[in-house]
Amino acid sequence: MSEELLRRIAAGDVTIGIYGLGYVGLPLGLTFGTNGISVIGFDIDPEKVECLNRGESYFRHIDAAAVADVVRNGFFSATTDFAQTRDCDALIVCVPTPLTRNREPDLSFVLNTSRQIARYLRKGHLFCLESTTYPGTTKEHLLPIIEETGLQVGTDVYLAYSPEREDPGNATYTTQQIPKLVAGHTERCGRIAQALYGAAFSHVVPVGSCAVAEAAKLLENIYRSVNIALVNELKVMLAKMDIDVWEVIDAAATKPFGFMRFEPGPGLGGHCIPIDPFYLAWKAREFGVTTRFIELAGEVNVAMPGYVVDKLQGALNERGKPLNGSSVLLLGLAYKR
């Protein structure tokens, strides 16, 4: 069965179901579709589905012409009907993984979507998760959902994890060009997942287990979070010394090795850095480990908006104006233009 699926992948004779057509799922679907592989996009929002089926885009950074091309050529369609899962050969989940109000991982979107998919699972399906999550999610949560159907992972169906690495609006690296980490629950699962992504991505990077791939994705964003916190802390410290942090960064950046430029800001933005580090910190507590760097970085970054407001209040006071009652113009409110 696995050899037949590999043969069909090599021939481009497969249909991929992508669940969640947000800033991760839609570019992924377009990447496969532009490479001549049929895609069915699933979303619970009927307005998004109708928009895509008209060949239009609801993201400013995704060209409507790219959507129109794959729709017109018959390589992409969107639906709210999960029963069409039966028509797919590979199933890729790209739904949000936010935090709860208590700053704990919220896997409800992943689990609910996976349970919906499981109703239509059949022999020969490849099931892959792309949502960012803590190490162990694929094995501890998705494996039981699949095996509850009576299908055996590794022989009947194939389970994999491949973390998204989207950077919306990045003009240098397209989805296809960004190296794709891929791991399978078994060696055979991994081989099939590598073949599938290899049909559309320029460079596929296999790793030894789903947990490694899950942890690697978190490391990428934790690395940025910690370094942003470091330069934010330097900004506060150097301001008290009356030293221009920007000039310091420019000077340090002249070193051609051993230094990577990070810049201070008023806080954290985006989908990943404010959330992902807390996934690993939460999981670490299960093993009795305190992630001091991760949590301290979070504290520093979360405190930056307060620091900015204090600076603003001081600047207004110097001009004899209270913050209360003043009009404040925010330029660059979004984390990306």
3-class SS of residue 199: coil
- Among 128, 189, 210, 272, which one carries the catalytic annotation? 272
Nearest to 202 by CA among 14, 35, 21, 8: 35
Pull the structure tokens for residue 52. 């895509």
Active site residue 51: no
CA distance 115 to 108: 10
What is the pairing mode between strands 180-184 and 158-161?
antiparallel
Cα(142)–Cα(90) distance, rounded to whole angstroms? 15
Nearby residues of 58 by Cβ (< 8 Å), 6 or more positions away: 48, 51
- Sheet with 126-129: list strands edge to edge: 76-79, 38-42, 15-19, 90-93, 126-129, 158-161, 180-184, 204-206
Write the CB contacts of 74 (distance below 8 Å, at least 6 apart in sequence).
Answer: 38
- Supply the angle between the helices 210-240 and 245-252 in degrees, to the nearest 10: 130
**Catalytic (active-site) positions:** 272
